[in-house]
A and B are shown apart, each in its own frame.
Chain A
Amino acid sequence: MKVIMTETLLIDLDTEKWHCRRCDKKIGSARKSYKEGMLVYERDPQDIHPTQLDPEKYEFTFAPDPKWIRILEYYCPKCGVMVETEYLPKGHPPAHDLEFDIDALREQWKDREELTEPAYGPDLQMERKVHRH
């Protein structure tokens, strides 16, 4: 049984491993942080959010202040898909953002059907329950 946990990651309950959903790369133990199996790159935020106003003239330019905040980009080591971005002040320890109880997850999914695509949800609950003939 594979459970889709994020846009790009799933947990294989049989092997208890994180996998990349794009290339099926085994990322690491599902009982640990998936980040441990990722490649990380520290970005100057202005690479992504460029200055719109002339930085020679102005202090605030629509671009984040690189002295205040950095972007950590997490990539799958096999296919290079970007799994996560984390905006942190310089030196702030990255979060162990996803920590699931694997035993409880297995129990929860024993009666559920495996999904092959993420359930992105309906626009409205009513849309899903609309009565059709």
Chain B
Amino acid sequence: MDKIEALEPNDDQFDEETMMAKFLEETTLFLGPDPEIMGDHDLAERSDREDEAMKKVTDPATLAIVRDRILAGANEGFEMLENMGAAPGAKWGDLVTGVFSAAGDLAISSTGGVLIFSSLVHHPVKFINKYWRDEPTVGIRPGDVFMHNDARYGNIHNTDQSMMLPVFHEGVLIAWAGATVHEGENGAVEPGGMPSSAESVFDEGLKLSPLKVGENYELKRDLVTYFQNTVREPKLQYEDMKVKMFVCRRIEARIREAIDEYGVDAVIACLRVGLEDTRAEVRRRVSEWPDGTVRYSHFADSTLRENVMIKIKLELRKKGDTLTFDFRGSSPEFANRCNNTVQASLKGMICQLFLAFIWPDLPRCQAAFAPMVVLTDEKSALNSSYLTPNAQSMMTFFPAFTGAQIACAKLMFSIPNKSTKVVAAWYDMINTFLYGGMTQHGEIVGNVCADINGMSGGAHGDRDGENAVAPIFATMADIGEQELVEEEVPFIQIVSKRLLMDNQGMGKHRGGMGYEMMVAMTDSEQWGFMVTCIGSKTPNAAGLFGGYACPTYPLCKVKGVDVFEMFKSNPEDFSYSMIDVMNNQPFKEATYSTHHMGLQYELTRRGELYMISQGAGGGYGDVLERDPLDVMRDVEEKLTSQTLANNIYKVVYDTETLVVDEAATQKARDKERAARKKRGMPFKQFCKQWSTKKPPANIPFYGSWDDSKLIYGGSPEETMTPDTMRSITMPHPKDVRIEALEAELEAAQKKLARSAKAKAAPKAKAKAKAAPKAKAKAVRKGRKKSR
């Protein structure tokens, strides 16, 4: 809005309306997230300065060289950040660097790292441009350092902290350098930065709207101290703020060098041309896809506090050069659960799908998603409102990613020219441990294990998926060196990176397999673990074209044991397999239990076991088309059991030598195909007996059923429409448990009372039966006496 000049009451222009506008402008009480900025993922309009630069520098070779120079600077910054950053996430690749245009569009992102971070930092940069540039108490000047971590202003959750430096040339803002790291600890209600027990945004810890934290390339120590006091890892907070600032400075230096060599117009033009060309190329590529609609629904099974069914509904429409991701009809948001997604975060994740999985050859910039359209219902789990917590937004936008991955694979399968392989769903959940407490060095810490990066690849159209290879949100991430971790924190992964047999999405090609993890605390006054995954009742990674999904995964615990003592006395009794430990229960006094994988921070004692498994990718194609030799190779390598080889893949072989009997296998598979035809029912007939009008009453179901405009809120009776969508408030799981236990107690008391009554009844009956006789006897006795 243009500035309104001061008006006096006797001024001709004075009127009530103008006075009100002036009053409102001058007395804005709160600058919350700007809906215009947060709702727009397209590029900013080309500025006059950009237009001028593009007219001056037109040589594609020059632009390409400048681009490579700046990209090299971003990559250099990435390396610096990975090597110098203190956060575990920084060491393992959960970071990214980038260069933004003056208006804030991400023009160049580092080759490795978490693209979703940078592809969402354009929102806070645009906020700074819009609100702080002309704000006398803030301003944007050379040497300023800005920071941000609140997902409501951009990005995905507040464990990720971003730093942005404006780059000036001769007093004019020409670009921004940025760096983002998954820092982990952020002072939330639980340690580690991703509090699953957060019931409001105020439980989620440090939440920084875009703000200035430094001037003249110096961090303001008063602010830094405040941040340090707000989190559990104060030294990490300071160190990584410094590292990110120096990384941004290095990128700025590389931009300046490019300016010195090629001129500022070449740099400005390079950033803008890269964005506009990418947007145009994306439109061209989309136009090669067939026009049509692909539909897919994913059923997430948990809020991390309780098992509920959360529907993520996707209708992907393609027409001409436009792709529309229509998520309307998905679950409502949860008022007191942190699995809600800010819509912009959802967009960033789907942008990542294109740049990492579909068009990895495109420049890693924001324009790759600019032409897409995303539709969601307001107040839904994928477009949550301001006051709903979002620290675990991945629990809804990762399933949405899977939906988009499957839908895109189906929609684009027919096109002759692809940039990378057809793939079934990547494993999409962060199966790892979060931890917090006092280390062996006397430090208070809270963070996450690098196994977060060990997600398995989906099966490809022409080969198996990669085992535990990379997270869906990053390239060049690492699953870490366990020995290094053990030097810093007081727990050991007793089993680490051991592929779990049969943990696969079966198919003609199987999905990549996940490994099991078994951890126990060694030495700490106070230590606890968390797990923040869904997928214990319904699978996370879907199959493609007849392939099966991954299995589901439990959290297994063995409490009341110190396995380290057992290692000293009789180590031969220990099995390095979570399945053996749980089924054989080798520790006599211990308690064994399984749970869904939403474990809130739980204190542990020395030697107690916590066990989970990394997930598997989805399978591709019909299991009966899997090469029997591939099945036998997996059996030999103990990746597939003979049970699965026999029952699912229908391979006949010598159980000793594992030599395949090809003829018998063919026969077994033909028999299975014949059995399918016998048991299968024609579709229409099947639907008549299968389809119901409403969700089942025995499952707390959230989302639409057969009509995307009728949304269920936990039961068949609780309904809403997109216009009347409301937040769901969940009861505290402990209250639910208490209620259930009280009901059990009441039932037991009633039963006891009934039992006591039943026991007392024969005596009373006998007494009652005996009463007339006694009375008669007494009467007789009385008569006798009276005589």
Contact of B421 among A69, A96, A108, A123 (CB under 8 A): A123
* Residues on the A chain within 8 Å of B680, using CB: 38-41, 73, 75, 77
Complex CA distance for A25 and B255, rounded to whole angstroms: 61
Q: Interface readout for B637-662 with A: 1 if CB under 8 Å, 0 if not?
A: 00000011000100000000000000
- Determine whether A24 belongs to the interface, using a CB cutoff of 8 Å to chain B: no
Contact of B554 among A61, A77, A80, A95 (CB under 8 A): A61
Complex CA distance for A115 and B414, rounded to whole angstroms: 9
Which of B360, B414, B421 counts the most A-chain CB atoms under 10 A from its CB?
B414
* Residues on the B chain within 8 Å of A125, using CB: 359-361, 419-420
Complex CA distance for A129 and B693, rounded to whole angstroms: 52
In chain A, what residue has the closest Cβ to B693?
A: A91
In chain B, what residue has the closest Cβ to A79?
A: B673
- Determine whether B607 belongs to the interface, using a CB cutoff of 8 Å to chain A: no
Contact A65 B546 (CB under 8 A): no
- Determine whether B594 belongs to the interface, using a CB cutoff of 8 Å to chain A: yes
In chain A, what residue has the closest Cβ to B694?
A: A91
- Determine whether B543 belongs to the interface, using a CB cutoff of 8 Å to chain A: yes
Contact A35 B683 (CB under 8 A): yes
Chain A count of residues within 8 A CB distance of the other chain: 75
* Residues on the B chain within 8 Å of A121, using CB: 418-422, 461
Q: Which of B114-122, B167-175, B294-302, B761-769 contacts A (4 or more CB under 8 A)?
A: B294-302
| Those of B553-593 within 8 Å (CB) of chain A | 553-556, 579, 582-583, 592-593
Contact B361 A120 (CB under 8 A): no
Given contacts A38-B683, A79-B673, A80-B674, contact A87 B538 (CB under 8 A): yes
Complex CA distance for A7 and B460, rounded to whole angstroms: 11
Contact B554 A97 (CB under 8 A): no
Contact A98 B696 (CB under 8 A): no
Complex CA distance for A57 and B579, rounded to whole angstroms: 12
- Determine whether B691 belongs to the interface, using a CB cutoff of 8 Å to chain A: yes
- Determine whether B413 belongs to the interface, using a CB cutoff of 8 Å to chain A: yes
* Residues on the B chain within 8 Å of A40, using CB: 680-683, 686, 690
- Determine whether B549 belongs to the interface, using a CB cutoff of 8 Å to chain A: yes
Given contacts A39-B676, A88-B299, A105-B291, contact A57 B592 (CB under 8 A): yes
* Residues on the B chain within 8 Å of A59, using CB: 594-595
Complex CA distance for A67 and B301, rounded to whole angstroms: 12
Contact B417 A97 (CB under 8 A): no
Contact B706 A93 (CB under 8 A): yes
Which of A4, A65, A91, A99 counts the most B-chain CB atoms under 10 A from its CB?
A91
| Those of A84-133 within 8 Å (CB) of chain B | 84-85, 87-101, 104-105, 108, 112-113, 115, 118-126
Contact B537 A95 (CB under 8 A): no
* Residues on the A chain within 8 Å of B506, using CB: 48
Complex CA distance for A35 and B546, rounded to whole angstroms: 13
In chain A, what residue has the closest Cβ to B301?
A: A68
Complex CA distance for A37 and B542, rounded to whole angstroms: 23
Contact A49 B695 (CB under 8 A): no
* Residues on the B chain within 8 Å of A126, using CB: 361
Contact A85 B547 (CB under 8 A): yes
Complex CA distance for A14 and B583, rounded to whole angstroms: 58
What is the total of A-B residue contacts with beta carbons within 8 Å? Answer: 257
Complex CA distance for A108 and B676, rounded to whole angstroms: 36
- Determine whether B624 belongs to the interface, using a CB cutoff of 8 Å to chain A: yes
In chain A, what residue has the closest Cβ to B505?
A: A49
* Residues on the A chain within 8 Å of B418, using CB: 119-122
Contact A123 B420 (CB under 8 A): yes
Contact A39 B682 (CB under 8 A): yes
Complex CA distance for A102 and B133, rounded to whole angstroms: 52
Complex CA distance for A90 and B695, rounded to whole angstroms: 8
Q: Interface readout for A62-80 with B: 1 if CB under 8 Å, 0 if not?
A: 1111011101111101011
Q: Interface readout for B481-508 with A: 1 if CB under 8 Å, 0 if not?
A: 0000000000000000000001100101
| Those of B409-441 within 8 Å (CB) of chain A | 410, 413-422
Q: Which of B341-349, B615-623, B728-736 contacts A (4 or more CB under 8 A)?
A: B615-623
B8 to chain A, nearest CB (A): 64
Chain B count of residues within 8 A CB distance of the other chain: 93
A116 to chain B, nearest CB (A): 12
Contact B551 A62 (CB under 8 A): yes
Q: Which of B14-22, B32-40, B369-377, B697-705 contacts A (4 or more CB under 8 A)?
A: B697-705
Complex CA distance for A122 and B358, rounded to whole angstroms: 11
A65 to chain B, nearest CB (A): 4
Which of B413, B594, B596 counts the most A-chain CB atoms under 10 A from its CB?
B413
* Residues on the B chain within 8 Å of A122, using CB: 418-421
Complex CA distance for A8 and B545, rounded to whole angstroms: 8
B549 to chain A, nearest CB (A): 6
* Residues on the B chain within 8 Å of A54, using CB: 582-583
Contact B683 A91 (CB under 8 A): no
Contact of A53 among B583, B620, B625, B684 (CB under 8 A): B583
Complex CA distance for A90 and B299, rounded to whole angstroms: 12
In chain B, what residue has the closest Cβ to A120?
A: B461
* Residues on the A chain within 8 Å of B417, using CB: 119
Contact A120 B421 (CB under 8 A): yes
* Residues on the A chain within 8 Å of B545, using CB: 6-8, 83-84
Contact of A95 among B295, B536, B674 (CB under 8 A): B295
A112 to chain B, nearest CB (A): 6
Given contacts A94-B687, A125-B361, contact A81 B552 (CB under 8 A): no
- Determine whether B462 belongs to the interface, using a CB cutoff of 8 Å to chain A: yes
Contact B687 A82 (CB under 8 A): no
* Residues on the A chain within 8 Å of B691, using CB: 91-94
* Residues on the A chain within 8 Å of B699, using CB: 67-68, 89
Contact B583 A62 (CB under 8 A): no
* Residues on the A chain within 8 Å of B547, using CB: 85
Contact of A49 among B546, B552, B579 (CB under 8 A): B552
* Residues on the A chain within 8 Å of B416, using CB: 112-113, 115, 119
* Residues on the A chain within 8 Å of B28, using CB: none
Contact A75 B676 (CB under 8 A): yes
Contact A64 B686 (CB under 8 A): no
**Can you list 12 pairs linking A and B with CB atoms under 8 Å apart?**
A38-B680, A48-B548, A49-B549, A50-B643, A57-B583, A60-B553, A81-B546, A84-B545, A85-B549, A100-B290, A105-B291, A118-B422
State the B residues within 8 Å of A (CB): 288, 290-297, 299, 301, 309, 319, 359-361, 410, 413-422, 460-462, 502-503, 506, 508, 536-539, 542-549, 551-556, 579, 582-583, 592-596, 613, 620-625, 643-644, 648, 672-674, 676-677, 679-684, 686-687, 690-692, 695-696, 698-699, 701, 705-706
State the A residues within 8 Å of B (CB): 3-8, 35-42, 48-50, 52-54, 57-65, 67-69, 71-75, 77, 79-85, 87-101, 104-105, 108, 112-113, 115, 118-126
**7 additional A-B residue pairs with CB within 8 Å, beyond A4-B414, A49-B539, A53-B583:** A5-B413, A53-B582, A63-B551, A67-B698, A80-B676, A92-B706, A112-B416
The 5 closest A-B pairs by CB, nearest first: A39-B680, A80-B673, A125-B361, A60-B554, A121-B418
